[in-house]
Chain A
């Protein structure tokens, strides 16, 4: 049996770690480096940094976060958000990313996937697909954190991404993202049946059991989680939770927590092992 990777996802806005619901309504949670260090120590298998605003003038703070992290954290780091060209990719790899994650630019110009995977190796190029359910069995791909409609069928796009030479796909259920209602197992299982590259499932994990439910059916090669682990970190480290942008009251109320049973990576992995799912421990 294969070993499944558990990948905490850190959404970044400027210097801050943020979290939204359905990829929107972002709240500041704290300093990315505090969360990254904690996840590394807790046995995260990789880290994903996503620049959710990705405006050009803020790019430098993302670069600082990556290079600071890569100096102390010896697990793979994937960076996404706003990467539009070969030179953008080169730049984030140069400051310490191991892989890059493309979405908007790849949909606008699919050739970028082919060019980038030839130049940097397939295994360096991850493509994110943001899926919104249209009707039963029908999903459309969106870009810009679920904001921009493309009209592209998710399943056709996933196959094309594979053919173009990407090394991995992150499939996000925008409908489930940030809600804690569990993964969209149908969506993820179908994507994985259609492609030959590893599939990372994202969006909806509210408790560790949700991860077990997905992986029992061998529906994914890795899972990406944010709220579930972030809320655990905040509970454990209240003093490190943000005081930067006035969301302290929100954090104290833990308003977002009610649909979640926050868990550490360690505890999530224990539950997976109890359910005969292989993880690094």
Chain B
């Protein structure tokens, strides 16, 4: 008997839970301005999430998925991409979407049930939020195939959760991407919970990163609560893919401090003590500690940031709430590139019956 294959999975982290540097920071992280930008992006995301949950609780927003405790994953991915790259998010990547130019008003419209919120004014070629689990993974492979066939030096980044890694189509996407050496980076936001199913009951595999091994591409694990590590490891994979080095799978270890969505009550199945312990690993607090101790952040700066984030979120909420509802005939908009005659007749009937009564449906 002889061994024909073996693997190992590397784990990367720079800032520990107390905000202390382990090892040597990557070059970009020696720039205080970059780190401050990442910190601000995480605080804005947290402020937005809290407000969105409040809006849902008072009947002014539909179901919403908070990214509380996981801000570093999406923000790190968003920072690692170039503007011309393509982000295919799941539904908890608002932190990265904001960095790429999606507005808070757009996401509020989306979660408020208005499809216009997915028509991003900023990143025109980023994909909309994908609620079905893992559906965007084979599509990401398709985007990457298109980028490769078109000969463009651009990279697709696809984010999904730990639960999605159990799906066949996600593996199919990874297998095809590796086979064709596509410019694609898969990021697993492993927040330990697929609604009520804990990570330990999701798969017998020791890590989710090793799901890459069978597909034939690198699998890496990163501390998903350390935004520096996420930015660094995803960034290296993105640039490798851009050079024609093929795809990679990055598992970001984090924790869902919130409910799954506002339609969920995690206290029914999850021990509060577990959640309290995980708060000690908060990605926002650890970067603030590091920045403060390094002399790059002050109490005054913190107060100003909190006020600024609150004002920006408030302005977005006002814009969202002031957006007129869609007219009934809009249900036919964008159904086809050109509306077939039979549907045109239906639309005209709806318009005649409803739109005449005013703007409010």
User: Is this pair of chains taken from one and the same complex?
Assistant: no
Q: Hey, which bits of chain A sit against chain B, CB under 8 A?
A: none
Q: Hey, which bits of chain B sit against chain A, CB under 8 A?
A: none
